[in-house]
Structure 1
Amino acid sequence: MSERRYLVKEMFGPTLQGEGAHSGRAVVFLRFAACNLACTGCDTDFDPEGAVRMDAAEIVARLRELDSGGTRRVVVTGGEPTLQWDAPLSDAVRGAGFRVHMESNGTRPPAGAVDWLTVSPKPQHHPAGLALADGLAANELKVVVDDTVDETVIDRYAAKYSCEHYFLQPWMDARYEHNLARTMALVHARPQWRLSVQLHKIVGVP
């Protein structure tokens, strides 16, 4: 059987993690192509067009090239990374000394081990709504807020899923100031949640 080749949209770094509990940390990024959702307003290019096929050894070699500062921390994202992330790739990347931080929409559990899991559902931007996978264990839960987010969904997430960190993040679009004000009001009323901003966009890094 031939070794699996993964559909990679882009790899880049060193840069900064811009969101959540690890905001401001030096990282490298591995972005997979393809997603199982089609959320309106998505700001990420995960189209398989222009993506390249890479095996685990090629991915690890490229991570080492990018990690010039020795952070040994890779953010695995997409698209939806759980569509491709598996045990062989996890073993190769973590075996090379990298801590794996995954950012997922939460509809599927990762098939391979990760060191940090961020679940970021956007139920207001998906026509069918969005239910997280049952039994999903995450380190942090991050909900992006715009004027249409249902406050009861936020409360249901907090009640159902046990995480170390809970973040509300304003949607960074033309109504950003409005979204920020609404997010801050939600945080004020819900001490369990904290404000997250997209630091990488503020400081101008990818």
Structure 2
Amino acid sequence: MSTLQHTGLRLRVSEKFGGTVQGEGPSTGVPACFIRLALCNLICSPCDTPYTWDTTRFDLRKEAHYENVEELLAWALDQPEDLVVVTGGEPLIQMAGLTELVKGLRAAGRTVEIETNGTIAPSEALVAAGPYFNVSPKLSRFGAAMPETRRLVPDVLRAFVTTGRSRFKFVVSEAAELAEIAALEAAYALTDISVMPEGTDPEVILAGMRTLEGPVRERGYRLGTRLHVLLWGDERGR
């Protein structure tokens, strides 16, 4: 931690909270604390955290604040959960501060997962720090407001695969979208794929899981969920 006390690096933070569980991906159900960073480089209309980036609807001067890396590190290490999830927004926009935060967390023995949309390649220093990357490329329907070249960056997807520490997580609303996932899997050698239904209502999530279970299983993917939505609906900070 002493090496962080002189960096002067800050991160723009939307919110942070503990006393919960990881709701998505391979660590679903694991006790976790969360640091949600502000700002995103994509404009997904179904986004469930638009307050982290959408200046047309939210005032980021009120929704986000700056914190020194060492302050965030101290907060995270004061939480009882071993797993620290850094999410967004898009965390890799703030690469320098993110890297120092992860270095401090890993040096203290914490497990770190970074949630990313997979369009910004992680630096060598960030990969070396040892986090897991939960990569969530945006499919054509979810990212309909953007050209494909913005939501899918081939060299970046390959870079994440090369780390050996990336898991791929897709949000879908219907089984037909699994063909799009399969094409990405083949093109970029994606591994550890989970598929979860879109939604911020428990009944919508359950209905989506029932619809997807068979097709997802047949593809050999993991059926994912949004456990935090099942437990607490669309409540922030959970």
What TM bracket, shorter-length normalisation?
A: 0.7 to 0.9
Q: Which moved more, 1:158-167 or 1:7-16?
A: 158-167
1:168 and 1:195 in contact (8 A); partners too: yes
- The residue type equivalent to 1:103 in the other structure is E
**1:131 — aligned with what?**
152
1:145 and 1:183 in contact (8 A); partners too: no
Q: Tell me the alpha carbon deviations over residues 102-131 of structure 1, each in whole angstroms, 9 at most, x when there is no partner.
A: 111001122323421111122222221321
**Pair 1:29–1:21, CA change in 2 (3 A):** same
Q: Which moved more, 1:36-45 or 1:93-102?
A: 93-102
**2:117 — aligned with what?**
105
- Mapping of 1:4-153 within 5 angstroms? 4-44=9-49, 45-47=51-53, 48-49=60-61, 50-65=63-78, 67=79, 69=80, 71-86=81-96, 87-111=99-123, 112=126, 113-123=129-139, 124-126=141-143, 127-129=146-148, 130-132=151-153, 133=156, 134-137=158-161, 138-147=165-174, 150-153=177-180
**2:213 — aligned with what?**
184
TM-score under structure 2 length normalisation: 0.75
Q: Tell me the alpha carbon deviations over residues 36-70 of structure 1, each in whole angstroms, 9 at most, x when there is no partner.
A: 001011111313332111111111111123x1x3x
How many residue pairs get aligned? The number is 202
Shift of 1:93: 2.5
Shift of 1:158: 1.6
Instruction: Structure 2: state its 5+ residue gaps.
Output: 1-5, 54-59
TM-score under structure 1 length normalisation: 0.86
1:73 and 1:101 in contact (8 A); partners too: yes
- C-alpha separation in 2, matches of 1:184 and 1:117: 24
**2:222 — aligned with what?**
194
RMSD (CA atoms)? 2.4
- C-alpha separation in 2, matches of 1:178 and 1:22: 22
- The residue type equivalent to 2:224 in the other structure is S
Higher helix share: 2
**Pair 1:102–1:149, CA change in 2 (3 A):** farther
